[in-house]
């Protein structure tokens, strides 16, 4: 069997959870079958069972394109280039709307069965209009078309399956829930502290950690607004970069600057670090906070749990299937607006509740250690890539 992955992200160009997913799934599937990856970038790799080819995203044709539409038109153009070479795979597997147009073309032009993994859904990310303008209508159309013509859809959580069935016209028999996974040999506690020393994190005092992009979806602003309610002795480490827009980047800068006026233990690492560096931060954090307002799965939570760290997270989406409230962490209820942009109805209440959860986990050492231990075991029991790859292989066989 041979599978062709279409994806925007693939190492060394990974900036989000979908890219992490694709990287590890490709490696694990390559132990079971031939895997070809066509992605955005300049990659060129060929070995016995895994080949990777990057396609340039930048094109001078779009130099004068409207800034909000440029990324969308470049994306569609790249997806066409991805199909210029004949597709000889038994099945095509697409990841995120950025690559789904390539899957549409492959199914129409080559007749190849199409599998879509729904890492997130455009109807539930209305803030993307800030970034894409009318391009958001194009991305939404691509996603809807791809999902509704797919031979199989992988939902990364039960709640994501519900969302797929609610927002798209698909047969529920085509939607299969297969969780994200993690490399348990790589993501494990480490005693190394070089990253803490580099960024002047005090090893004698507790810290709460955030890891992620600066987006509306990740809810980082709500954590920054919670800082004033967090115990003054607790350090705040924000590993956050790659803002979706200049506006949200500026909002983040202003919020962090304001909170730094009253406390000097807020450390903002404004770039995406390497895995080994992130693992150090996870390993030594007293609590990991995931304040997302939309999260189909939340792979960062299992990364933290695998590194023996308790989690405080918003009770939304797939997070509720990952974090067990009271056992591996604390889930914070989130009452959201009924219409876009789905922000909290009471943002200050949500921020206070996040802070209360963080304070509770850090102040109770026994609870903290129990949650950390339970978290690692849960990841080992449910989120191992080897078992997940076999589920995906079975799905491929069903559509060929």
Q: Residue 303 belongs to what domain range? A: 194-382
Residues 290, 308 contacting (CB under 8 angstroms): no
What percent of the chain clears pLDDT 90, i.e. is strictly above it? 91
Q: Give yes or no for a contact between 393 and 30, defined as CB atoms under 8 angstroms apart.
A: no
pTM above 0.75, yes or no: yes
In a domain, 188, yes or no: no
Confidence at 242, pLDDT banded by 50, 70, 90: confident
Mean pLDDT of all residues in 79-90 = 97
Check whether residue 174 and residue 199 sit in a common domain.
no
Averaged pLDDT, 65-89: 95
Note whether 356 and 390 are same-domain residues.
no
pLDDT band (50, 70, 90) for residue 34:
very high
Tell me: the pLDDT tens digits for 274-299? 999 999 999 999 999 999 999 999 99
Residue 365 has pLDDT above 90, yes or no: yes
Do 274 and 366 lie in one domain? The reply is yes
Question: Does 36 reside within a domain?
Answer: yes
Considering the domain architecture, whether residues 231 and 374 belong to the same structural domain is answered as: yes
Per residue in 296-335, pLDDT (tens digit) is: 999 999 999 999 999 999 999 999 999 999 999 999 999 9
- Tell me: pLDDT of 341 over 80: no
Whether residues 203 and 177 fall in one domain: no
Q: Is residue 187 part of a domain?
A: no
Regarding whether 229 and 93 lie in a shared domain, the answer is no
76 and 173: one domain? yes
Q: What is the pLDDT of residue 15?
A: 84
Tell me, yes or no, whether 132 and 214 share the same domain: no
pLDDT, position 17: 85
Same structural domain, 115 and 203: no
**156, part of any domain:** yes
Q: Is the pLDDT of residue 235 over 90?
A: yes
Q: Binning pLDDT at 50, 70 and 90, where does residue 349 land?
A: very high
State residue 38's pLDDT score.
98
Same domain membership, residue 221 and residue 299: yes
Q: How far is CA 396 from CA 111, 158, 170, 292, 390, in A?
A: 15, 20, 18, 32, 10
- Residue 257 within any structural domain of the chain: yes
- Cβ-Cβ contacts under 8 Å for 257 (sequence gap 6 or more): none
Does any domain span residue 186?
Answer: no
Averaged pLDDT, 40-53: 96
In this predicted structure, the answer to whether residue 166 has a pLDDT above a threshold of 90 is: yes
Mean confidence (pLDDT) of the chain: 95
Amino acid 135: pLDDT: 94
Is residue 101 situated within a structural domain? yes
The verdict on 279 and 364 lying in the same domain is yes
Check which CATH number belongs to the domain holding 239 and give it: 3.40.50.2000
Res 127: pLDDT: 85
pLDDT, one tens digit per residue, over 176-201 is 999 999 999 999 999 999 999 999 99
Query: What's the total number of domains in the chain?
Result: 2
336/362 same-domain check:
yes
């Amino acid at each position: 069997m041979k599978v062709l992955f279409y994806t925007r992200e693939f190492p060394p160009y990974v900036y989000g959870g979908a890219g992490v997913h694709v990287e590890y799934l490709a490696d694990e599937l390559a132990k079971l079958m031939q895997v070809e990856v066509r992605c955005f970038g300049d990659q060129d790799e060929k070995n016995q069972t895994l080949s990777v080819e990057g396609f340039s995203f930048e094109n001078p044709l779009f130099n004068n394109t409207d800034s909000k539409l440029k990324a969308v038109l470049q994306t569609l153009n790249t997806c066409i280039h991805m199909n210029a070479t004949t597709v000889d795979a038994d099945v095509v597997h697409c990841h995120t709307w950025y690559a789904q147009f390539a899957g549409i073309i492959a199914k129409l032009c080559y007749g190849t069965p199409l599998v879509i993994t729904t890492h997130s859904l455009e109807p539930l990310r209305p803030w993307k209009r800030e970034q894409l303008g009318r391009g958001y209508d194009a991305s939404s159309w691509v996603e809807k078309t791809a999902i509704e013509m797919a031979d199989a859809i992988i939902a990364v959580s039960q709640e994501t399956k519900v969302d797929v069935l609610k927002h798209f016209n698909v047969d529920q028999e085509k939607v299969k829930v297969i969780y994200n996974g993690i490399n348990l040999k790589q993501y494990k506690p480490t005693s190394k502290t070089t990253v803490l020393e580099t960024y002047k994190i005090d090893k004698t005092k507790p810290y709460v950690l955030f890891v992620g992009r600066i987006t509306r979806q990740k809810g980082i602003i709500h954590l920054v607004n919670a800082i004033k309610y967090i115990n003054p002795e607790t350090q705040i480490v924000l590993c956050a970069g790659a803002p979706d827009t200049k506006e949200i980047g500026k909002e983040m800068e202003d919020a962090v600057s304001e909170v730094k006026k009253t406390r000097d233990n807020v450390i903002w690492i404004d770039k995406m670090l390497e895995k080994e560096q992130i693992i150090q931060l996870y390993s030594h954090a007293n609590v990991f906070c995931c304040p997302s307002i939309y999260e189909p799965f939340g792979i960062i939570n299992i990364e933290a749990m695998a590194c023996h760290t308790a989690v405080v997270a918003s009770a939304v989406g797939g997070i509720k299937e990952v974090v067990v409230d009271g056992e591996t962490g604390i889930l914070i209820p989130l009452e959201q607006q009924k219409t876009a942009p789905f922000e909290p109805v009471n943002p200050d209440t949500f921020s206070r509740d996040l802070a209360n959860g963080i304070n509770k986990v850090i102040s109770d050492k026994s609870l903290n250690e129990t949650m950390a231990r339970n978290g690692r075991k849960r990841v080992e029991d449910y989120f191992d890539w080897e078992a997940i790859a076999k589920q995906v292989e079975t799905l491929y066989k069903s559509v060929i």
